[in-house]
């Protein structure tokens, strides 16, 4: 069967397979969100719409690449582009560092390699019941473990990393597999 015949015989996508496809690629969206938060793009937009070129120049990024990342985020309601300029949405305002409910540092923190590594080791947790977070740190030299939490964003976030209303949205059992307070304290040299 050639590719054209295979496409013609394929069933139209259902809401269920679209959902699976969206979930499978949601890590791309998350990573774009982490990088945009790290670059401070929401702060650069501030209250004045900005062109991709102006944002790229101010953030030290390449305009075409930044445009593609912002376009992806706009497809899920983070930022919007009108007449060639990027504007805030209600959601993107939470990425501003001066917003009273800012989630910028929280998003930046979850974009740290140590957290991505932990999710990469989730299969370890499922097989052993042990913390994937601890497993991912075990492969790092001790100096890198401590450096994972020595950024400016960790101390500022310590008391507000997961406010109670966010905790209710996260499966406590999954979170326990990935990280424990003991793991974090050990990494921060507070054990």
What is the distance between the alpha carbons of residues 177 and 10, in angstroms, rounded to a whole number?
A: 39
What range does the domain containing 60 cover? 16-95
Residue 39 confidence (pLDDT) above 70: yes
Structural domain includes residue 1: no
CATH number at residue 28: 1.10.10.10
Average of per-residue pLDDT across 2-18 = 74
**pLDDT tens per residue across span 136-171:** 655 544 555 455 554 454 434 444 444 444 444 444
What is the distance between the alpha carbons of residues 144 and 147, in angstroms, rounded to a whole number?
A: 5
Quick one: angle between helices 15-39 and 63-74, nearest 10? 130
Whether residue 83 is found in the same domain as residue 120: no
What is the distance between the alpha carbons of residues 100 and 22, in angstroms, rounded to a whole number?
A: 31
Average of per-residue pLDDT across 70-76 = 96
What phi and psi, each to the nearest 5 degrees, are found at residue 81? -115, 125
Q: Considering the chain, what is the average pLDDT of its residues?
A: 76
Least confident of 18-27, 45-54, 81-90, 133-142: 133-142
Residue 186 confidence (pLDDT) above 70: no
Whether residue 77 is found in the same domain as residue 37: yes
Whether residue 183 is found in the same domain as residue 136: yes
Total domains in the chain come to 2
């Amino acid at each position: 069967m050639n590719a054209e015949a295979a496409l013609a015989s394929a069933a139209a996508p259902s809401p269920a397979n679209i959902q699976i496809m969206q979930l499978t690629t949601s890590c791309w969206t998350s990573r774009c969100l982490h990088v945009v938060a790290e670059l401070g793009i929401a702060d650069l937009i501030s209250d004045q719409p900005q062109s991709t070129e102006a944002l790229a120049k101010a953030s030290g990024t390449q305009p075409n690449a930044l445009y593609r990342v912002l376009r992806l985020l706009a497809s899920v309601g983070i930022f919007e582009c009108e007449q060639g300029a990027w504007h805030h949405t209600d959601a993107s305002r939470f990425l501003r560092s001066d917003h009273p409910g800012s989630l910028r540092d929280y998003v930046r923190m979850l974009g740290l390699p140590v957290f991505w590594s932990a999710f990469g080791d989730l299969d370890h947790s499922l097989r052993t019941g042990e913390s994937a977070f601890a497993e991912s740190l075990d492969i790092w030299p001790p100096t890198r473990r401590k450096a994972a939490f020595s950024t400016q964003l960790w101390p500022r976030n310590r008391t507000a990393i997961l406010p109670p209303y966010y905790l209710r949205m996260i499966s406590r059992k999954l979170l326990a597999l990935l990280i424990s307070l003991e793991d974090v304290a050990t990494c921060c040299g507070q054990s």
